[in-house]
Amino acid sequence: MTAAAEDSASLGTTGGQDDSAGAAVSGGTAAAVDLAGRGGPDAVSTSASAAEAVSDSRDLLGIKAYVPVLLDVIRTTDRLAFDIYVKQGERGFVPFRFRNTPLQDRDRQQLLVQGVHQVYVDVRHHPNYCQYVEGQLDAIISDASIDIQERARLLYQVSDRLVEEIAAGLTVEHLKRARQLVRVLASHTLHSRTLPEAMARVVAREQHVGAHALHVCSGMLRIGLSMKLAVSELADLALAGILHDAGKSMDVLTCWELPKSTADPRHHAYREHPTLGAQALQMVCAKSSGLIAVAGQHHEALDRSGFPTGLPGESIHLWARICAVVDAYDCLTQAGPNRKPLEPGEALGRIEADSGSKLDPEIVGHLKRLYAAPATRGATGGAAGEVLLDIGQSGPGGAERRQSPRYPFHVAVIVRRGLDRQGRPVGRSSIVVQALDVSRTGIHFISRQPFGVGEVILVDLPTQIGGKGPAQQVRAKIVRCLRWNVAAGYDIGATFIGK
């Protein structure tokens, strides 16, 4: 890091130092911990339980551990309940801002000028960081300057933490936090596909214990809207989706179907989780009969083959019947232990096979109307309970590309910028980008530089696309530019508009 960056780091030394800060400066053994297990500069996803486990190990081994977080996530002017560190080569982790000291705009700008987009939190303070993110979640999700996939990942992290805490024992405070999570999810996913698309990409690569709760919540809300349920019901209906597995203990939290073997210790726990969930909700919200019914009845079936009590169809609460359909769909379309996810069409076929016998046929009909769009690569199930467009198929021209086969095309490609209105280059502005795939009508690539939507470019396609002879030069128009992550740059989609 340059001297300017070191000067900016020294701004943090005005606060009151604690033992963790002093240890970092003293040069003791320290490590940045990728608790998400993904590695790389963008490894900022961390579950609260994993952080606590690392913290315990750190205390036992005498190792100072730090969790990487994106600088953009930390709001300026907020007083923070955790220290912020920067990494300075051989000096290791150096304190930048201490607790109870706000991060100023000038501090952020100085770091960004030096190319610092990632800072660190002492793993012992990570629970405070998680609490901070949850409190600022709506503002963070609304912040377009933060990578959309990182915003999606943070949404999952908040859900992970809440679901894990509920598994340890539901409280009134958890109910309040769940309501807030529902509000954020609804406001950012009901009328826009941007966040749901990013959620689909994240959950396709990472395991999140709270993902299922978010998906069921969103799916129930969408079906409730499709069924034209009273507006006064919708908020609690969605909340019931978040809390439907409130009776699950940690050992069955990621178990999405009843273990077949009665010898499996999880078999009994899984069969009991609806009863335990209803009892827990009865204690914290006795007047919310719908929430209690969903937790207790979402595994019941119309033909009385369900559990825990084998209720007949007419006795199963409407919300629980909605939950049963959405719950089954999400379990089929998300990867589980020793099981690959089904494509949306195949999952809908499985759901339809149980329609009228186990599942409510009217609700299955609403599910089909909402989810039965043609499936695309990378969109198995949808992160927010809908079939989503693939990353390379959003924006103008997407419908055309969906009708054209797309082929993997992992090669370096020259892109020429600075064209006049006739598409002719007016200067020496060319860059090499990494192509990902190509179709008859467009190309999908990664760039270190951003492009403007509507910008016209020239793409030099190698001979394996154009056949024999020199590379062909094709004009294209940018239809999408998303900041993918700090390390990879920008995700670009372009439609060909002629040679």
- Specify the pLDDT at position 421: 59
- Specify the pLDDT at position 203: 86
Of 269, 239, 250, give the one whose Cα is nearest residue 167. 250
- Specify the pLDDT at position 433: 83
- Specify the pLDDT at position 34: 45
The mean pLDDT values, 10 residues at a time, for the chain of 499 residues are 38 35 38 44 44 45 75 82 90 88 84 89 90 93 89 94 93 95 89 85 85 94 91 90 92 73 81 95 92 97 96 96 96 78 90 96 94 42 30 31 53 78 64 79 83 84 53 83 60 79
Superfamily of domain 146-389: Hypothetical protein af1432 (1.10.3210.10)
Superfamily of domain 394-498: predicted glycosyltransferase like domains (2.40.10.220)
- Specify the pLDDT at position 13: 35
Residue pair 351/329 in contact (Cβ under 8 Å)? The answer is: yes
The domains of the chain are located at: 3-135, 146-389, 394-498
